[in-house]
Structure 1
Amino acid sequence: MKKILLALVIFITACFAINTPRKDERNFKDIFKEEMNYAEFKTYIDPDMGCSFQYPSFFSQESCDDGTCCVRFGYHTNDINMVLELKILYVRASTDVFKESISSGNLNSYAGYCYHSHNIVYRHRRYVLTFFYPQDYKHAVTRIIRNLNVWKPFKYCKKIF
């Protein structure tokens, strides 16, 4: 009887030790990179212009009271700041020619941060979708950058294209 009781105690202790969650020893950047592979994306549609873009579901909409953009979504945690913003500017030159460009680089005003921007000029307007992120997270945010590169602002608006 004592042997069975001892075996049962050892078995229960072993099961408890195996199933006890362990603390993840990885740094936040590695965890973030892995979670980005499974992140859901939402679609924002501008109610006035009809243009749209996708953003990670864990980003939250922020106020854009400074007049520099139409809408801004951000993620701020663990001493990192990521911002995705849409600007719509009016262009004086009369053109029906579609122009598109993609640019990226380091931010001079914020050390350690980069930007990736997609610009589209069409029908007296310049649509600019820009993503600001920490330089160390470049590989972690490749999915966001890929979405920015293939951005079609009028996917949900049938009148423009």
Structure 2
Amino acid sequence: MINRTPYSKSTTASRKNPSSASFNWAHLALLLGFAFLPGCAKKTACTVADPAPVACSPDKLFALRKSDKNSLTVTAMAYTASSVGKGRKALPRAANGEVLTPDISAIAVSPDLIEQHGLSLDKTVRISGLEGEFKVMDLMSPRHSKSIDIYFGNDNAGARQWGKRTLVLSWE
């Protein structure tokens, strides 16, 4: 009978235990590596459009995060529903016409941010040091420049405690 395998067995080589021949350390290391990637262990599948962490998708594994197109250091103050409503019992409205409810994440911006820096009403922005995104819903007085007001709903004490701070505002 002719041996048709591309390799020939050496008669002097020692035989391995059949149970240990099926175990491969490289495969185990590879499986453990994927199991402990951040954000992937709980996901069933990662897609390109998925806003999952960069480590989740093989296409995004070595990709750099996209930097924000626009960011600006601004003075941040706070305002509440009582400062907008001026004593009225109805809920206040923002410059874009929407009702300012206490749970909404809204900001007012100074006019120069709209005219010179490309912000607009209804644009979504991020504020360094604060969680989530905020929607530009109102305009400040023209006497302010490079300033934002963060809406605190009905929390007058929280707005007073916030005071005046310098933060970085970023948007796309």
When the two structures are superposed, what TM-score results if normalisation uses the length of structure 1?
A: 0.26
| Higher-strand-fraction structure | 1
Q: Which one scores higher on RCO, CA 8 angstroms, separation ≥ 6?
A: 2
| Higher-helix-fraction structure | 1
When the two structures are superposed, what TM-score results if normalisation uses the length of structure 2?
A: 0.25
Structure showing greater Rg: 2
